[in-house]
């Protein structure tokens, strides 16, 4: 089961992907969590300590690895000839970090200029790696995406079973859903569903349901605004470790069960 989590900046992608990854791992799945953000935000949501996460280098910044696998140093001039199909089978094992509930985290980093189709060595390596991960790795992969879906090209995106677009009850966030739908359709993601987040009242709940209805996107969860999640962030701990029974975490348990039913895994 390959799940990608997308949405506008700050809507709660990392909270949702990290918590989902751990909840699925607790159900016995072998879970890989992929962080597409070079700021390594997913680690803390997964409950990986600062001490460990501080030492992680995003693969996109790992120049010696990129050079070793593609034959070309990052930043080399355009037109350099490099290996288009670098070996990647050992990368998850080598660079992944195992956290609580045995979730393995791989920090990928961002593909620079990915949306312009730049075929720089880092880009080539990450593309092949993502393809490998989506085809070969684990029972469950949860990918915390960045807004433009740069990591997914046609071909790889087909391997994503579902993309959860996170939406706050704000018009700008709805606009991002609209753009994401268009992108997802172009690259042929199997299915896009949505999860409302930081919902404070019935008006906001209805807003999300109505806007998603207009866009024809199923609403898989309506996650309340939850002070415990904000608190966990301030304390630098995982929301799941801070308050396992908080309303937002409970809603994610329901989302996890919904996904298992909907996609029969």
Ligand X SMILES: Nc1ncnc2c1ncn2[C@@H]1O[C@H](COP(=O)(O)OP(=O)(O)OP(=O)(O)O)[C@@H](O)[C@H]1O
Minimum distance, C-beta of residue 198 to ligand X, in the bound complex (Å): 5
Answer for which of 3, 12, 44, 86 binds ligand X (CB under 6 A) is 12
Q: Coil, strand or helix: which one is 169?
A: coil
Minimum distance, C-beta of residue 249 to Mg ion, in the bound complex (Å): 17
Structure tokens at 9: 């900046």
Q: Are 22 and 9 in contact (CB under 8 A)?
A: no
d(CA 19, CA 116): 32
Give, for 165, the enclosing helix (H) or strand (E).
strand 162-167
Binding residues for ligand X restricted to 193-212, rule: CB under 6 A: 197-198
Binding residues for ligand X restricted to 207-236, rule: CB under 6 A: 223, 225-226, 229-230, 233
- Site size toward Mg ion (CB under 5 A) is 3
Contact pattern from residue 142 through residue 181 relative to ligand X, giving x for each residue in contact according to CB under 6 A and a dash for the rest: ----------------------------------------
* Closest residue to bound Mg ion by CB: 14
**Burial (CB count <10 Å: 0-12, 13-18, 19+), residue 64:** exposed
Q: Are 13 and 144 in contact (CB under 8 A)?
A: yes
Distances (CA, A) of 194 to 58, 99, 127, 167, 181: 28, 27, 25, 7, 10
Minimum distance, C-beta of residue 166 to ligand X, in the bound complex (Å): 6
| Position 15 contacts ligand X (CB under 6 A) | yes
Answer for which of 11, 56, 66, 193 binds ligand X (CB under 6 A) is 11
- Site size toward ligand X (CB under 6 A) is 19
Minimum distance, C-beta of residue 9 to ligand X, in the bound complex (Å): 4
d(CA 1, CA 42): 19
Give me the DSSP letters along 143-157: EE--TT-TT--TTTG
Minimum distance, C-beta of residue 247 to ligand X, in the bound complex (Å): 8
Binding residues for ligand X restricted to 34-93, rule: CB under 6 A: 37, 41
Q: Which is nearer to ligand X, 12 or 153 (CB)?
A: 12
d(CA 23, CA 17): 10
Which residues have CB under 8 Å from 58's CB, separation 6+?
Answer: 35, 38, 40, 107, 108, 109, 110
22 binds, among Mg ion, ligand X, none (CB under 5 to 8 A by kind): none
Q: Which is nearer to ligand X, 208 or 248 (CB)?
A: 248
Binding site for Mg ion (CB under 5 A): 13-14, 41
Binding site for ligand X (CB under 6 A): 7, 9-15, 37, 41, 197-198, 223, 225-226, 229-230, 233, 248
């Amino acid at each position: 089961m390959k799940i990608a989590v997308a949405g506008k900046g700050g809507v709660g992608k990392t909270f949702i992907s990290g918590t989902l990854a751990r909840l699925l791992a607790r159900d016995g799945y072998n879970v890989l969590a992929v962080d597409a953000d070079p700021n390594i935000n997913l680690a803390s949501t997964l409950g990986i300590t600062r001490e460990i996460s501080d030492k992680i280098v995003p693969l996109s910044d790992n120049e010696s690895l990129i050079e070793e696998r593609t034959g070309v140093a990052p930043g080399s001039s355009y037109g350099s000839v490099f290996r288009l199909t670098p070996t990647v089978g050992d990368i998850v094992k080598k660079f992944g970090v195992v956290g609580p509930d045995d979730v393995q985290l791989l920090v990928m980093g961002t593909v620079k200029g990915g949306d312009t189709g730049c075929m720089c060595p880092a880009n080539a390596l990450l593309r092949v790696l993502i393809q490998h991960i989506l085809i070969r790795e684990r029972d469950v992969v949860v990918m915390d995406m960045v807004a433009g879906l740069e990591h997914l090209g046609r071909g790889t995106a087909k391997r994503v079973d579902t993309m959860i677009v996170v939406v706050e009850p704000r018009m700008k966030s709805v606009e991002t859903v609209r753009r994401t739908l268009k992108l997802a359709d172009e690259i042929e993601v199997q299915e896009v569903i949505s999860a409302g987040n930081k919902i404070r009242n019935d008006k906001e709940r209805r807003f999300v349901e109505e806007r998603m209805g207009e866009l024809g996107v199923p609403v898989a969860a309506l996650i309340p605004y939850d002070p415990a999640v904000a608190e966990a962030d301030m304390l630098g701990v995982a929301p799941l470790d801070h308050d396992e029974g908080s309303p937002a975490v409970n809603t994610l348990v329901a989302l996890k069960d919904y996904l298992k039913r909907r996609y029969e895994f």
